[in-house]
Structure 1
Amino acid sequence: MNLPEGKKIYFASDNHLGAPTTEKSFPREQKFVKWLDEVKEDAAAIFLLGDLFDFWFEYKTVVPKGFTRTLGKLAEITDAGIPVYYFVGNHDLWMNGYFEEELNIPVFHKPQEFTFNNTTFLIGHGDGLGPGDKGYKRMKKVFTNPVAKWFFRWLHPDLGVKLAQYLSVKNKLISGDEDVTFLGEDNEWLVQYCKRKLETKHTDYFVFGHRHLPMEIKLNDNSNYTNLGDWIVHYTYAVFDGEEMKLEKYKEE
């Protein structure tokens, strides 16, 4: 993609709408919708890097209740011809067509490469990448197993969603959430993942979420790692203007 004059690429992640309750997350949802409304004015594309919801599971004919304003705004944006791309996170692994069919938003389950103005990006949520985190990696294999998903689908949505929401908040092994303090470059698994990728292929920008911690780290003279932070505490996002990438904090006007 070559960016038209004055257009930008926007990136955001980790809203966890519905946590700790739908009522308590509602002001955060309103703030995020307002941000979407503002950035659509000069957006060439918007990338959402996962965990938009604290829990999301698509039954054949049912999706979780709520989030109407967010879903409606995303539909408005794609209807206007602005592409939106979604990467599943560890809290919304179970997407299966709803975003594509209802919102015209492609959904990715693994990191993907993109090129904007001859600048290369590797983009993803970030869970389960890099060394370590073996407990979560084993759990993710269970969650993404077709048989396990089939059994869960037989739970009534009122029971299944309630159970999953409880575990999402209470069990950190299941959720995959990590310590949100900076661990140092040698201990940040996503930094190590990016450095290993650079051993075989150059990438200008690695962009991930998951850590809930805004980070901009220079990996070498020509490559950078950006973690988007979250929309719970930091309200941070990244923007690429065709020449450089910046991490910014949303402040309501």
Structure 2
Amino acid sequence: MNLSKAKKIYFASDQHFGIPSTEKSKIRELKFIEWLDTIKKDADAIFLLGDLFDFWFEYQKVIPKGYVRVLGKLAEIRDSGIPIMFFVGNHDLWMEDYFQTELNIPVFRTPQQYTFQGKHFLIGHGDGLGPGDKGYKRMKKVFTNPFSKWLFRWFHPDLGVKFAQYLSTQNKLISGDEDVIFLGEENEWLVQYAKKKLETKHFDFFIFGHRHLPMEIKIGESLYINTGDWIRHFTYAEFDGEQLSLKKFL
């Protein structure tokens, strides 16, 4: 993909709309919508790297209540012709076809490779990648099992969504959240994942979320960026055709 003149590609993750309360979440949602309105003027594409919602489950005829403003804004931007790509995170991993059918936004469950302006990217949410985190990896297999999703569908949405939201905020093993401090390159599993990938193929840029910690780390001639979050940091990544940089929305 070649960028149009004076256009950019944007990346953001971990908005976790829905917590800690409806009222406080709405404040962050409005700020995120303001950012979307700002970038749509020069965006060639927008990548949302997961955990847009703190919990999401699609019944056959029901989706979680709320989020009307952000969903409407995404629909508006997509209808204007700007591509949007969504990567499932560990909090919205039960996403099905709603984004594709209603918003025309493709949904990805694994990291994807892209080439923009001759630069090679590997892009994803980041949960369960690299060494370690074995407890979460086992738990993820349980929650992504089709039988587990089938069982959950038998809960009435009023009960199922409330119970899942409680687990999402209280159980770190289920959420996969790490301590939001820099652990050093040797303990940052996504950095180790990127290094392992570079043993077999060159990538100029690795872009992930999940860690809730904005990071720019050089790995040889490559660059790893973590997009941070929209809870504490309000950070995002921007590619202008030559440089990939981490920025903060004030």
TM-score with structure 1 setting the length: 0.98
Aligned to 2:228: 229
| One-letter identity of the residue aligned with 1:3 | L
Aligned to 1:125: 125
TM-score with structure 2 setting the length: 0.99
Displacement of 1:22 after TM fit? Answer: 1.6
Whole-Å Cα distance in 2 between the matches of residues 25 and 75 of structure 1? Answer: 20
Whole-Å Cα distance in 1 between the matches of residues 36 and 102 of structure 2? Answer: 18
Q: Give the paired residue count.
A: 250
Secondary structure of the residue aligned to 2:66 is: coil
Give the RMSD, CA atoms, in angstroms. 0.4
Displacement of 1:21 after TM fit? Answer: 1.6
Whole-Å Cα distance in 1 between the matches of residues 66 and 232 of structure 2? Answer: 22
Identity of aligned residues (%): 73
Equivalent runs, 1:156-235 vs 2, <5 Å: 156-220=156-220, 222-235=221-234
| One-letter identity of the residue aligned with 1:232 | I
Aligned to 2:31: 31
Secondary structure of the residue aligned to 2:218 is: strand
Secondary structure of the residue aligned to 2:179 is: coil
User: 5+ unaligned residues in a row in structure 1: which ranges?
Assistant: none
Whole-Å Cα distance in 1 between the matches of residues 187 and 172 of structure 2? Answer: 19
Aligned to 1:243: 242
Aligned to 2:22: 22
Aligned to 2:142: 142
Aligned to 1:83: 83
Q: Which runs of 4+ in 1 moved over 6 A?
A: none
Q: Deviations over 1:188-220 (max 9, x none)?
A: 000000000000000000000000000000000
Displacement of 1:24 after TM fit? Answer: 1.5
Aligned to 1:57: 57
Q: Deviations over 1:158-209 (max 9, x none)?
A: 0000000000000000111111000000000000000000000000000000
User: 5+ unaligned residues in a row in structure 2: which ranges?
Assistant: none
Secondary structure of the residue aligned to 1:186 is: helix
Whole-Å Cα distance in 1 between the matches of residues 70 and 47 of structure 2? Answer: 14
| One-letter identity of the residue aligned with 1:246 | S
Secondary structure of the residue aligned to 1:139 is: helix
| One-letter identity of the residue aligned with 1:142 | V
